[in-house]
Structure 1
Amino acid sequence: MNMASAAGPLAAGWGVHSVWMRRCLASARHDPLSGLWTRDAFEYRAGWLLARHPHVAVVLVDLDGFKALNDTHGHAVGDAAIRATAGSLSDALTGHRRAVAGRLGGDEFAAAVVLPDPVALPWLLRGLHDEITAPFRHDGRDLRVGASIGGALSSDAPAGTGRELPALLRLADEAMYTAKQGGGGWQTAGFAPRLTTTAGRRTGRPGTHTTPREEAS
């Protein structure tokens, strides 16, 4: 057997291995439950958008009533709510050519959306809230969770580090918390009161918010 013939199977084996490795890497960057980008993958892509576009909305979504849904109907329904939220978030961003969404953990999601005009931010947040809080179907039942959403626009933030992703996520988090204190809904950072922060996050902020606002129907 000549060297060319021997190298054929070896090259084919490496080709299969390379495809397998790429699939493993792609899978690792996606949250297995929601199918959205993981936190690290989201932050990388959101940072890329912020570096290249003047008006980028950074959005933080926290579900309301998620713990009550889990406690009442079980974790399978909670998982279904996470998947439904991810689907609603993706559907709401379909019309935006440059957008990225991720699951940060628990019942918390984030998105970065390039806007052609900064005045579009309220319409974006309202549309996201309407999509996410719509009923979802599970085992023949219509269920729902509420949502508190905060949004910060990069062009409204101070130049420099204020327009970087960590600062914008903090502003979106503060706006989301303001919405949650009001019973849910959406809020822009421009109207949210300044809150004290610790290590770049709102002081006293738990990992997830489980304040029940709406019972599952």
Structure 2
Amino acid sequence: MDPVLCARTRNGTRAILLAAAVPLTGWAVHATALHRRLAAGRVDPLTRLLRRDAYSACGRRLLARHGDDAIVAMVDLDHFKLINDRLGHAAGDMVLTAFGARLTAWAGSHAAVGRIGGDEFALVLNLPADRRVERLDQLMRMLRTPVVLDDGRVVEVAASVGAATPAAVGSRDLSVLQRAADIALYDGKHSGRVVLATTGHTTVPSLNGRRLGRLGTCRLPRATGSEASPPGGP
């Protein structure tokens, strides 16, 4: 006999509800586990930033919403291999985690912040032109702040940043903006300044996404009072 019907005959309605709740509870547990697996697929477990696909989907939505007020930034952690080689991979992981936290804090909760490579990050956010210089200068200061490891060691860090806007590049396509920002980043590598892409950066020959040759760049001036020399390093 069906166990549910048997329960009804012996114990009444309460038993039916209890028996019905068992599969519902099972589905709830399954749904929770599925949600966690999906979330894990969207988020980098080390930095808690979005993975490439999730970042790209969110970034495209932000570009469609904010148009010319949006900005795409590419960030490359400088000398990361030396950090790993000299201090160990555990220290390198702590540095990456710190960078993820700083990028998230800087960009805010409504931005798309992704880890798209080992030490490469990308951001899409709403950043109107009248605040751009000040905010990007703030980003560089944050990324140059030494990282203190759990054992008390202090790691000097720095990053190279390239940025692109729809108005300056002439496109609202995320791939075009990222490529322009990435090429601008490499034009200003280790300079300590954010390089803002122009339309010229969309036509520079590249190999595997990295620019071949150098062209004139537009480096954003630092906000008043925040001038600082690049950190020393290998």
* Structure with bigger gyration radius: 2
Answer with 77-86 or 186-195: which moved more. 186-195
Q: Which segments of 5 or more consecutive residues in structure 2 lack a partner in the other structure?
A: 1-6, 9-15, 214-230
TM-score (norm 2): 0.78
Taking the aligned partners of 1:70 and 1:132, their CA distance within structure 2 comes to 18
- Larger relative contact order (C-alpha < 8 A, sep ≥ 6)? 1
> Would you say 1:46 and 2:59 are equivalent positions?
yes
Q: Which residue of 2 aligns with 1:27?
A: 40
Q: Which residue of 2 aligns with 1:209?
A: none
> Would you say 1:178 and 2:192 are equivalent positions?
no
Q: Secondary structure at the match of 1:98?
A: coil
CA-to-aligned-CA distance 1:100-142 (integer Å, 9 cap, x gap): 2110011000110112x22322222211111111011111111
Superposition RMSD on alpha carbons, in Å? 2.3
Are the counterparts in 2 of residues 125 and 151 from structure 1 also a CA contact under 8 Å? no
Question: How many pairs does the alignment contain?
Answer: 201
1:46-125 matches, cutoff 5 A: 46-54=59-67, 55-94=69-108, 98-115=110-127, 117-125=128-136
Taking the aligned partners of 2:122 and 2:205, their CA distance within structure 1 comes to 21
Taking the aligned partners of 2:73 and 2:157, their CA distance within structure 1 comes to 18
Are the counterparts in 2 of residues 68 and 215 from structure 1 also a CA contact under 8 Å? no
Correspondence for 2:137 among 95, 104, 126: 126
CA-to-aligned-CA distance 1:144-180 (integer Å, 9 cap, x gap): 221000000123332xxx2110000011101101110
CA-to-aligned-CA distance 1:19-65 (integer Å, 9 cap, x gap): 11111111211101111000111000000101111211100000111
> Would you say 1:165 and 2:191 are equivalent positions?
no
1:188 partner letter: L
Q: Which residue of 1 aligns with 2:12?
A: none
Identity of aligned residues (%): 35
CA-to-aligned-CA distance 1:61-109 (integer Å, 9 cap, x gap): 0011111111111111111110111111112123xx6312110011000
> Given the superposition, is the C-alpha separation of residues 73 and 192 from structure 1 closer, same or farther in structure 2, using an over 3 Å criterion?
farther
Are the counterparts in 2 of residues 125 and 149 from structure 1 also a CA contact under 8 Å? no
> Would you say 1:215 and 2:233 are equivalent positions?
yes
Q: Secondary structure at the match of 1:171?
A: helix
Are the counterparts in 1 of residues 169 and 180 from structure 2 also a CA contact under 8 Å? no
Are the counterparts in 2 of residues 178 and 192 from structure 1 also a CA contact under 8 Å? no
Structure 1 stretches of at least 4 aligned residues deviating more than 4 Å after TM superposition: 191-194
1:198 Cα deviation from its structure 2 partner: 4.8
